[in-house]
A and B are shown apart, each in its own frame.
Chain A
Amino acid sequence: MQRQLFEYHPVLGYRFIPGLKARVPHEAGGYLVQVNNQGFRCQRDFALKKSPGTFRVLLFGDSFSAGDGVSNRQRYGDLLETLLPNTEVFNFALPGTGTDQQYLAFKEFAQDVECDVIVAAVLVENIRRNTARYRPFADENGKQVYFPKPFFVRSTSGELELEGVPVAKAPLTEAELGQALKSADQGGRLPVLRKAINRFGPRAKQLAQRLTGYQPVPGYNRADDPDWLLMRSILALWSSACHAPFLVFPIPLYQHVEGTASAEPYRRRFRELERETRISLCDPFEHLDALPASDKRRLRFESDVHPTPFAHEQLARALAPALSQLRQSPSQGSTT
């Protein structure tokens, strides 16, 4: 049985157990998880005031940014501190969350933290999590249960209303969810088919996806898709709550990088967002797409789709220039 990593949180649903130090077994040999006293996987505690001359980045995201599969110091957020002198990255990323929960993490824990830029690292799949009321997790006995999550409902006029808070503590089984199972995120589209194909191994899965032109995140296909409108509204709301530059960093799925699915729909949506709002965009896709095919496969583990240490290096390299530019721009120094 593995060490419990998360504790209940009434607004986010959960966060890391404050002060935790753990090692998680993994196909790559295992990785070290260090959690600060605020309950986030960050080497340092979150001080409200920053030191003079320090460039402070607040980073939000899910497991790709929290670093599932790699130790703290191997994550792109931590690598940025090496690439950019006098930079400190406060990592607020929380595995398994949607953009909605990441925004709530900002509201709960980061709004008063002095900073130079806020980075919302949106794994493009988060668009689906935002619409979910429940997310599946394995309990301590390895059984799949569904934990409730907070969520936003977008009215026809575009306003967001937060629901599901305080988040209920008790997880539900599939049977207990009943009809509500439809509002649970199943970790991707076509769960039954996916499960069946997964039995034949990753190559069969990739082949099937290629042959069927599988689009893992169809919510980006149209500008008026309700899922995209919800994502867009959350990011807009978040941006409006920030007193520092707000940078969106959309992280592609491996299907996009490896060419199984087209990245164009989601990239187009985020470009529109940048054009039409005050939100800044740093799209790492071109950087990743420029890698040789053999290196692209090195971006994820053999089975686990999370970024490898090599992928984290690439993400850091892709993000660093945008942060440097922000640092040098006249607006640098914006604080809370």
Chain B
Amino acid sequence: MTRYVLGVSALYHDSAATLVGDGEIIAAAQEERFSRKRHDPSLPRNAINYCLEEAFIENNELGAVAFYDNPWLTFDRALSSVLSVGSRGKEQWLAAAPSLLGAKLRVKQRLHALLQCEVPVLFTQHHLAHAASAYFPSPFADAAVLTMDGVGEWATTSLGMGTTDAEGRTRLELLREVRYPDSLGLLYSAMTQYCGFKVNSGEYKLMGLAPYGTPRYATTIKQNLIELLADGSFRLNTEYFGFLDEHSMTNERFAALFGGPARRAESRITRREMDLAASIQAVLEEAVLGLARSAHATTGAKRLCLAGGVALNCVANGRLLREGPFAEIWIQPAAGDAGGALGAALLCSFERFDARRKLTPGRDAQKGSYLGPAYGSAQVKAFIERHELPSERVEDLTERSRRIAGAIADGKIVGFFAGRMEFGPRALGARSILGDPRSAATQSQMNLKIKFRESFRPFAPAVLREHCADLFELDADSPYMLLVAPVRAELRLPKRDSAFEQGDDDLLSVVREARSTIPAVTHVDYSARIQTVDSVGHPAFRALIEAFFTQTGCPVLVNTSFNVRGEPIVCTPQDAYRCFMRTEIELLVLEDYLLWKDQQPKQTDDESWRDEFELD
């Protein structure tokens, strides 16, 4: 009989639930997708419901629930931190105490109340859960494991080793850790906040902004904020940070170091922020490379697995692959706290219930990260009929792909909703907005008219795996959009003397400039955040790119998440239709139904819907 483990991460940010049966990942989803609240931290009742639905099991069939961290250790760290700064930490303590003393310590009771059964609830440790989420789904039998995030209980970074014997028996242990308050995640988040972006969501923007700047503050950062040590570890100078004793990540000393107060959110981005972004990115990459070298020296492993929020920094990941000591790396696509739910469940399944790990050469066990709910053709039909929406059903995949590809080649922006939703922050073709990468206008059009977000943010290419090396300096699998690599030199176009190059801060002049033959996915530094698409993960998405390639000779599509700024990625057909109608997406694909914008009934919504989602 299958032993099921429900994994849960909750009550900090990005709550999620996962279900694992005898070591196999069955389902995983973030609560925000159902609740429609970005980074929803609440107990993931909807995600749990979905996981049990996917396996179609009763609550009492669960062998255990595994929670992703140890609330008592978190409480211990929070209390110790407060005591270390004395009365200055009072306000921060008062803000954190209700969660630490209340909800988090009553997780077991709350889960029992939700499930209405007395299933055993087990607690793991935050970084062990991250490590498990990276190691167990990876395709590697033996691998070093590196986890890096803001903080989990006491640890901020940990180094471990995972092994699997010929019978599939596993062993995962953490060997070393860096402890709070020394944290790469907190350092990056502090700079994110200082540059006017939100902590825990704006880090990605900072990474996207970095190529516009020069790392002229890197030395300042290394001399004052962080000391990178020879053994790969590091120390933060907490005198510059506010997270110990203030509500802000940074303090006045930090501001003084970088020439003035933090940028106000939504105000114009200046050269200073671009240079700060470039600088912190350079320091982060150096730190990650140092950690990797240390991991390699300590474990002797040839392969590396990564997780934790810092592992979502795909620019650093790309450098690690190119310059690091490991032959191969694998990164958990849900590297943030949501992935902790997966790690906790896997850890419990393998180490508590003694599940045997089944390795398939060259293939991971993450199932393309298509682990969320699907809404098949019958559900879409029911939705369309109920709302009497004009649509056309095209059942034949080849014909459907041909028509969608034709629309994209004509410059249309397409909302693509097909199959099981992705687990993790990236849309990988199941809940995606797609466009033509050959058009220089696509990037700003998609940013400003579809996503309603900052114009500088780059888009990712989804490329047929076998053509990846033809276009990019990468010949490796990157199915989860977690590696950045340069566009091949022969495809690049020379930089023009744009207003930006002449010193103007206006990013649009450089954003609109064609930088390669696939300009919409070529960042200002000629880099691209690549998703390779093979023939296994998502057949409908693969068929669409193939059709586009047949029609245009270009094996790439622009792929961005199906949402507007501040909105969680769409989950249901209803979500997708609503987003479609509120943006300038011209064609919506809901499984095998095509819906054209110009045929839809007029929306009665006014602009007030923009207030529905808090800007990220």
Interface residue ranges, A against B (CB under 8 Å): 1, 3-4, 6-8, 17-25, 27-30, 32, 34, 71, 140, 169-170
Contact = CB atoms under 8 A, between A and B. Distances in A.
A30 B59 contact: yes
Nearest to B375: A3
Given A140-B574, A170-B388, A29 B53 contact: no
Contacts of B385: 7-8, 169
Given A1-B575, A3-B379, A29-B116, A21 B56 contact: yes
Q: Is the interface of B mostly helix, strand, loop or mixed?
A: helix
A19 B381 CA distance: 13
Given A25-B45, A32-B57, 14 more contacts: A1-B574, A4-B572, A7-B381, A7-B385, A7-B386, A8-B385, A17-B378, A17-B382, A20-B378, A22-B53, A29-B115, A29-B117, A30-B49, A169-B388
Q: Is the interface of A mostly helix, strand, loop or mixed?
A: loop
Contact of B114 (A3, A19, A29): A29
B572 A1 contact: yes
Contacts of B383: 4
Interface in B1-57: 34, 36, 45-46, 49-50, 52-53, 56-57
Contacts of B57: 32
A315 to B, nearest CB: 20
Nearest to A171: B386
Given A4-B379, A71-B58, A140-B574, A21 B53 contact: yes
The residue among B45, B382, B572 with the most chain A CB atoms within 10 A of its own CB is B382
A147 to B, nearest CB: 10
A25 B382 contact: no
The 8 A-B residue pairs whose C-beta atoms are closest, nearest first, are A29-B116, A23-B53, A7-B382, A17-B382, A8-B385, A29-B59, A25-B49, A29-B115
Contacts of A1: 34, 36, 571-572, 574-575
B49 A23 contact: yes
A6 B382 contact: yes
Given A1-B572, A1-B574, A8 B382 contact: yes
B160 to A, nearest CB: 35
A24 B52 CA distance: 10
B487 to A, nearest CB: 40
Nearest to A15: B382
22 contacts: A1-B34, A1-B575, A7-B382, A7-B385, A18-B378, A19-B376, A19-B378, A20-B379, A23-B56, A24-B49, A25-B46, A25-B49, A29-B116, A30-B49, A30-B52, A30-B59, A30-B115, A32-B53, A32-B56, A32-B58, A71-B58, A169-B385
Interface residues of B, number: 31
Nearest to B382: A7
Nearest to B50: A23
Interface in B369-385: 373, 375-376, 378-379, 381-383, 385
Nearest to A37: B378
A17 B52 contact: no
Interface string B371-407: 0010110110111011010000000000000000000
Nearest to A1: B572
Contacts of A7: 378, 381-382, 385-386
Contacts of A21: 53, 56
B358 to A, nearest CB: 26
Interface in B566-595: 571-572, 574-575
Interface string B50-90: 10110011110000000000000000000000000000000
Contacts of B117: 29
B2 to A, nearest CB: 16
Contacts of A20: 378-379
Nearest to B572: A1
Nearest to B34: A1
Nearest to A141: B574
A25 B52 CA distance: 10
A4 B378 CA distance: 10
B590 to A, nearest CB: 13
Nearest to A5: B382
A2 to B, nearest CB: 8
A29 B56 CA distance: 14
Contacts of A18: 378
Contacts of B114: 29
Contact of B379 (A17, A23, A25, A140): A17
Contacts of B375: 3
Contacts of B379: 3-4, 17, 20
B383 to A, nearest CB: 6
A177 B101 CA distance: 50
Contacts of A170: 388
Contacts of A25: 45-46, 49
A309 B116 CA distance: 14
Nearest to A169: B388
Contacts of A24: 49
A93 B339 CA distance: 41
Contacts of A27: 116
Contacts of A140: 574
Contacts of A32: 53, 56-58
A140 B36 CA distance: 13
A169 B574 CA distance: 17
B231 to A, nearest CB: 49
A26 to B, nearest CB: 9
B185 to A, nearest CB: 32
The residue among A20, A25, A170 with the most chain B CB atoms within 10 A of its own CB is A25
Nearest to B383: A4
A21 B52 CA distance: 11
A20 B377 CA distance: 11
Nearest to B60: A29
Interface in B100-130: 114-117
Contacts of B386: 4, 7-8, 169
The residue among B50, B53, B388 with the most chain A CB atoms within 10 A of its own CB is B53
A50 to B, nearest CB: 27
Contacts of B34: 1
A20 B379 CA distance: 8
Contacts of B53: 3, 21-23, 32
A170 B114 CA distance: 35
A25 B114 CA distance: 9
A80 B375 CA distance: 33
B379 to A, nearest CB: 6
A308 B58 CA distance: 15
A16 to B, nearest CB: 9
A221 to B, nearest CB: 38
A7 B378 CA distance: 9
A25 B58 CA distance: 12
Contacts of B378: 7, 17-20
Nearest to A28: B116
B376 to A, nearest CB: 8
A175 to B, nearest CB: 14
